[in-house]
């Protein structure tokens, strides 16, 4: 700005012009300086491309952390000014870990960047693709009791707004159940558990009422629901039972799951171990039980086995049945014609389908599998140059290899179902070594049906953030030299390699210092040693040394002094 001001000054400009037309030694100076000034200003005038990032969760933060190219003008908008390490949220619900230990201020994350990143604590309520701007409102009230509204225009928009808890429109859930999605939810659950114990201790409360107040119901047998039930069981048995000995006999934990088993996305061995352990611990696991209504004191379930509706009195309900779409995303999907979908559809370069310069990652988006399958079929047909309808097995294997390289989801699926069986399925009647394309397409449709989109996990979200930042870092170079196999670089393709997810396995903490892990290659590990693996993995994954030290000291404090049951 200083150089610009100097150059803009009329006297200085005139002086430079005079110097530039005079000769001799001055000419040497004049040749260089006016040009240099002009060049500097031109560089200054090149408008930086404005990147607007919506959300500071796993996807948004990993994008920001990995973005290194200073040639962007980066603006971040999120209703929370911190990043939360969600895998430790269940530990916050009982005080094993303090809430502040798992959050990192977004401003201290972006402060480490070598270029300016502007943060606004606000929520985006509308995306205007026509005028390339987002409409936002501040999360804080102004003097008049309303909230400030403003718009931010963009050249590139990165949508990383995550998802909200899914209630399946079950009546009463929003009003009477607790979600476990945000840090505030975990803090609220912690206070409610202590509240229940204090209320049940009052002399006016009947035995029947004590039983109701101390009945904790968890809805959803996925990893979060199971981990929460296990953490609650440990809290009650290791800490609260000592502090409220008279109440121990009244405490009950029930886990409701609509499917036949809990943790059904895990290996069967893990599911069985978890169910047996919960049975031993006295956690009542009710499978085939679908919640139809929640009221202030009762939860109604429809039992699949009997078809009957059962009323269960409770003191606290925690609802953990998966994720749903945020209203702003639904509105955006309507705007761009993606109405019949659950989440935003993107291509494999994370570009929102039907939009220009808009990317979506994390829980709010998914790669459109149908399109992927069509692409695969097209690639396959292309390989059959003579249009014979068949392919040699070896050629087919080559095609499959290309497809698998490009589409990791297919690779995972093919591995699971064994490539050999898949090939068997495709063998034409005529010759053992030839494959029928029609059969391939039918099998493809089958794979399509079975193939699941990427799971909504922190692992996927953070890898997508890193991938997209890497694309942004190399935008110019890849414009000139597009990457990836040549056959995928046809018109309309992106200049980068498509996103590839690398699965590092998943954990299910089961309480009592035991955990289960399903690692790549379907390798399963269960028990106390796995819990120590869990401690080390999560300590290493925390975003900063500050949070790492805080969490480790919280774990140490819990081992030595137990959990704190103060209601603050």
Our CB check for ligand FAD shows the closer of 139 and 201 to be 139
Q: Is 547 helix (H, G, I), strand (E, B) or coil?
A: helix
* Helix/strand number for the chain, H first, E second: 22, 26
Taking CB under 6 A as the rule, does residue 60 contact ligand FAD?
yes
Partner residues linked to 526 by β-bridges: 516
Q: What is the smallest separation between the CB atom of 488 and ligand FAD, expressed in angstroms? A: 27
Q: Mark residues 107-136: x for contact with ligand FAD by CB under 6 A, - for none.
A: ----------------xx------------
Q: What distance separates the 2 farthest-apart alpha carbons in the chain? A: 104
Q: For 24-81, give the DSSP string.
A: HHHHHHHHHHHHHHHHHHHHHHSPPEEEEEE--SHHHHHHHHH---TTEEEEEEESSS
Do residues 301 and 255 lie in contact, with contact meaning Cβ atoms separated by under 8 Å?
no
Q: Which residue is nearest to ligand FAD (CB)?
A: 57
Q: Mark residues 219-238: x for contact with ligand FAD by CB under 6 A, - for none.
A: -----x--------------
Q: What is the smallest separation between the CB atom of 282 and ligand FAD, expressed in angstroms? A: 23
Q: How many residues bind ligand FAD (CB under 6 A)?
A: 33
Going from the C-alpha of 124 to that of each of 55, 152, 154, 303, the distances in angstroms are 9, 10, 13, 41
Applying CB under 6 A, which of residues 51, 63, 76, 87 lies at the interface with ligand FAD?
87
Our CB check for ligand FAD shows the closer of 173 and 403 to be 173
Helix-, strand-, coil-residue percentages of the chain, each rounded to 5: 45, 25, 30
Our CB check for ligand FAD shows the closer of 59 and 109 to be 59
Residues 132-191 that bind ligand FAD (CB under 6 A): 160-162, 180-181
Applying CB under 6 A, which of residues 221, 362, 498, 511 lies at the interface with ligand FAD?
362
Q: Which helix (H) or strand (E) holds 141?
A: strand 133-141
Stretch that binds ligand FAD, among 9-17, 50-58, 166-174, 423-431 (CB under 6 A): 50-58
Taking CB under 6 A as the rule, does residue 105 contact ligand FAD?
no
Phi and psi for 551 in degrees, rounded to 5? -65, -45
Q: Which helix (H) or strand (E) holds 366?
A: strand 365-367
Distance, CA of 536 to CA of 341 (rounded, Å): 38
Applying CB under 6 A, which of residues 171, 288, 408, 456 lies at the interface with ligand FAD?
456
Our CB check for ligand FAD shows the closer of 214 and 460 to be 460
Going from the C-alpha of 9 to that of each of 26, 42, 333, the distances in angstroms are 21, 17, 50
Our CB check for ligand FAD shows the closer of 86 and 166 to be 86
Stretch that binds ligand FAD, among 42-50, 143-151, 166-174, 450-458 (CB under 6 A): 450-458
Nearest to 554 by CA among 234, 228, 96: 96
Our CB check for ligand FAD shows the closer of 324 and 437 to be 324
Our CB check for ligand FAD shows the closer of 343 and 404 to be 343
Applying CB under 6 A, which of residues 30, 63, 79, 359 lies at the interface with ligand FAD?
79
Nearest to 299 by CA among 287, 313, 319: 313
Do residues 319 and 219 lie in contact, with contact meaning Cβ atoms separated by under 8 Å?
yes
Taking CB under 6 A as the rule, does residue 499 contact ligand FAD?
no
Contact footprint for ligand FAD (CB under 6 A): 54-60, 77-80, 86-87, 89-90, 123-124, 160-162, 180-181, 224, 326, 328, 362-364, 456-459, 461
């Amino acid at each position: 700005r200083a150089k610009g001001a100097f150059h803009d000054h009329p006297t200085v400009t005139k002086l430079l012009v005079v110097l530039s037309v005079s000769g001799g030694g001055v000419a040497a100076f004049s040749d260089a300086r006016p040009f240099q000034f002009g060049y500097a200003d031109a560089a200054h005038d090149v408008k930086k491309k404005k990147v607007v990032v919506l959300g500071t969760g796993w996807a948004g933060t990993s994008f920001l952390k990995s973005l290194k190219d200073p040639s962007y003008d980066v603006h971040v908008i999120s209703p929370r000014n911190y990043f939360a390490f969600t895998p430790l949220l269940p530990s916050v619900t009982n005080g094993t870990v303090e809430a502040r230990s798992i959050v990192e201020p977004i401003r201290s994350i972006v402060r480490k960047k070598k270029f300016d990143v502007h943060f606004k604590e606000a929520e985006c309520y509308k995306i205007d693709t026509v005028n390339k701007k987002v409409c936002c409102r501040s999360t804080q009230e102004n003097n008049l009791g309303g909230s400030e509204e403003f718009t931010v225009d963009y050249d590139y928009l990165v949508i990383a707004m995550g998802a909200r808890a899914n209630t399946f429109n079950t009546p009463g859930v929003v009003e009477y159940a607790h979600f476990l999605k945000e840090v505030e939810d975990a803090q609220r659950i912690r206070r409610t558990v202590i509240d229940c114990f204090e209320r049940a201790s009052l002399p006016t409360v009947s035995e029947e009422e004590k039983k109701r107040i101390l009945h904790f119901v968890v809805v959803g047998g996925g990893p979060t629901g199971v981990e929460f039930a296990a953490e609650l069981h440990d809290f009650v048995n290791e800490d609260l039972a000592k502090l409220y000995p008279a109440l121990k006999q009244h405490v009950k934990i029930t886990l409701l799951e609509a499917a036949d088993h809990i943790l059904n996305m895990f290996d069967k061995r893990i599911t069985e171990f978890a169910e047996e352990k919960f049975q031993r611990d006295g956690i009542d696991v009710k499978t085939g039980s679908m919640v139809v209504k929640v009221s202030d004191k009762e939860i109604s379930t429809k039992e699949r086995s009997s078809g009957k509706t059962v009323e269960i009195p409770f003191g606290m309900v925690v609802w953990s049945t998966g994720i749903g779409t945020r209203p702003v995303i639904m509105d955006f999907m309507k705007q761009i014609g993606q109405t019949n979908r659950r989440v935003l559809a993107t291509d494999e370069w994370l570009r929102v389908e039907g939009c220009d310069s808009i990317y979506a990652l994390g829980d709010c988006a998914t790669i459109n599998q149908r399109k992927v399958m069509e692409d695969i079929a097209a690639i396959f047909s292309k390989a059959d140059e003579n249009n014979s309808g068949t392919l040699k097995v070896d050629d087919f294997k080559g095609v499959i290899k290309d497809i698998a390289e490009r589409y990791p989801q297919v690779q995972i699926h093919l591995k699971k179902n064994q490539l050999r069986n898949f090939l068997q399925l495709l063998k034409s009647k005529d010759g053992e070594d030839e494959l029928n394309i029609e059969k391939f397409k039918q099998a493809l449709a089958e794979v399509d049906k079975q193939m699941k989109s990427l799971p909504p996990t922190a692992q996927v979200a953070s890898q997508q953030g890193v991938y997209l930042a890497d694309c942004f870092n190399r935008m110019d170079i890849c414009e000139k030299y597009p990457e990836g196999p040549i056959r995928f670089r046809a018109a309309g393709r992106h200049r980068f390699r498509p996103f590839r997810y690398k699965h590092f396995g998943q954990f299910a903490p089961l309480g009592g210092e035991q955990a289960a892990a399903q690692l790549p290659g379907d390798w399963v590990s269960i028990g106390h040693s796995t819990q120590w693996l869990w401690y080390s993995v999560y300590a290493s994954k925390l975003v900063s040394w500050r949070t790492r030290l805080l969490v480790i000291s919280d774990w140490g404090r819990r081992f030595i002094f137990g959990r704190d049951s103060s209601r603050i």
